[in-house]
Amino acid sequence: MNTATVPASTRPTESTPSLSADASSIRRNLAACYRMFAQRGMDDLIYTHLSARLPGSNGRFLFIPFGMLFDEVTASNLLEVDAAGNDVSGSGTAVNPAGWVVHRTVYDAVPTAQCVMHLHTICGTAVSAQKDGLLPVNQFGITYAGQIGYHDYDGPGLRPDEQKRFVANLGSKRMMFLRNHGTLTWGRSIAEAFTLMHYLERTCEIQVAAQGSGTLALPPQAIIDATVATAQGVGDASFGRIGFEALVRRLDRTDPSYRH
Ligand SMILES: [Zn+2]
């Protein structure tokens, strides 16, 4: 929307949360992601986070209030945080600064990123600690070959000097292992970031299970290369939309309270 066509009194200000219908659907879809990960036990007390950029808002994005559990998140209680990490509603609700800066760093480095997800699951963190990282143990592990960044552990938080290495390690990739820490995905939509995280985490679970059950049988490199070359859909901007919408319908049937 061109702000020149909007009366000054109705333009968003630094203290006015975005209220457009588009922002409403972004709130609902991000809240749904929190609930779906909570239902699968993929949260970690109050210390992981999912975010979504609000278009046309000077870099603001939606973020979980610090201290809230994933299954407590609703569309309306997500914070709208500004470029400095402050809740623009003025509620004084705290934002986890160590978590917020990870998301801020991705949004600043990747203009097309609309959603960022970061988890500390058991299997995702286990694979992050393996020297060889993600292995081609299943079809998604094969397809993801070469599409995953690795960022070495360098203490808690993300200091200014570490942010440059973080961005360099992410490069053009949409998935990253934070070594000895967890997983991260970003997407051009909430559905894409969610689906990348779903399959990245699922592949980690399969890898850890397979490693504990015997010697791994992995495909020859030529088959892996051919599979990557012919993979369909994974790079599409709408990747994951149909599956994500199906999961949202399931959530609507089982616990629609996230919509409020
Ligand atoms: Zn973390």
Q: What is the pLDDT along the chain (260 residues), one digit of tens a residue?
A: 333 333 333 333 344 445 455 999 999 999 999 999 999 999 999 999 999 999 888 889 999 999 999 999 999 999 999 989 999 988 888 899 889 999 999 999 999 999 999 999 999 999 999 999 999 999 999 998 789 999 999 988 788 899 999 999 999 999 999 999 999 999 999 999 999 999 999 999 999 999 998 899 999 999 998 988 887 656 666 778 999 999 999 999 999 999 99
* CA 47 to centroid of ligand 1, rounded, Å: 7
**Rounded distance, CA 239 to CA 241, Å?**
6
Per-residue model confidence (pLDDT) at position 116: 98
Q: pLDDT at position 239, please?
A: 77
Ligand 1 centroid from CA 157, angstroms: 8
Stated pTM of the model: 0.90
Tokens 């470029």, residue?
83
Ligand 1 centre to CA of 50 (Å) is 11
Q: How far is the CA of 24 from the centre of ligand 1 (A)?
A: 27
Q: What is the pLDDT of residue 8?
A: 35
| Per-residue pLDDT, 235 | 60
Alpha-carbon span 217 to 241, nearest angstrom: 32
Gap from CA of 124 to ligand 1 centroid (Å): 12
